[in-house]
Amino acid sequence: MLNKKIADLLNDQINKELYSAYLYLDISAYYLRKHLYGFAGWFKKQAAEETEHADKMMSYLAEQGEAIELKDVAHAGKTYKDLREPLAFQLEHEMYVTSLINAIYDAADEVNDRRTAHFLDWFIDEQTEEEATATALLRKFDLLAGDNRGLYELDAELGKR
């Protein structure tokens, strides 16, 4: 069994990960409507990764004999003013998720829950990677997507993910 606060935080984080999946599916839908199928596919895969993150947390809670609570997922529909904005928003969102993971880590540390802290190490590494990937994508967009040809090439590249 885990400390109740830790179990609650992990259940909240499952919801945030599923919200992240929903958010990225919404971004995928945005690019689909723009007929940028590479961008759309890239975000669809990103959404699938978020579901895997939720799944990892569900397995951990189950292994610890804790209840798994699947709560309502918030509405993710956003309006973007241009093709760049979802990419900037992704980076902002990943930085927010990093802050949530860090807060659970700190809470685990406070109650000497080394097992959960160790479990979260994977997520801390993953967040480093997610932020770096989102930053690189935004940078690439700024370098390449200034004209239609660059945008076409970036879309083709993203389609290979």
The nearer residue to ligand FEO, 50 or 66, going by C-beta atoms, is 50
Residue in 7, 14, 40, 97 binding ligand FEO, rule: CB under 6 A: 97
Residue in 130, 137, 154, 155 binding ligand FEO, rule: CB under 6 A: 130
Nearest to 134 by CA among 100, 84, 99: 84
Which helix H or strand E contains 32, and what residues bound it?
A: helix 4-33
Binding mask 31-70 for ligand FEO (x = CB under 6 A): -------------------x--x-----------------
CB 128 to ligand FEO: min, Å: 11
Residue in 94, 113, 145, 151 binding ligand FEO, rule: CB under 6 A: 94
CB 75 to ligand FEO: min, Å: 19
Distant-in-sequence, close-in-space partners of 83: CB < 8 Å, separation ≥ 6: 31, 34, 36, 39, 141, 145, 151
Regarding 155 and contact with ligand FEO (CB under 6 A), the answer is no
Place of tokens 């760049």: 84
CB 73 to ligand FEO: min, Å: 14
Nearest to 89 by CA among 156, 143, 141, 144: 141
Amino acid 48 reads A
Give how many residues touch ligand FEO by CB under 6 A: 7
The burial class, CB within 10 Å (0-12 / 13-18 / 19+), for 153 is middle
For the residues of 81-97, what is the DSSP string, one character each? SSTTHHHHHHHHHHHHH
The nearer residue to ligand FEO, 7 or 46, going by C-beta atoms, is 46
Count of residues in the chain: 161
Give me the residues that bind ligand FEO (CB under 6 A), please. 17, 20, 50, 53, 94, 97, 130
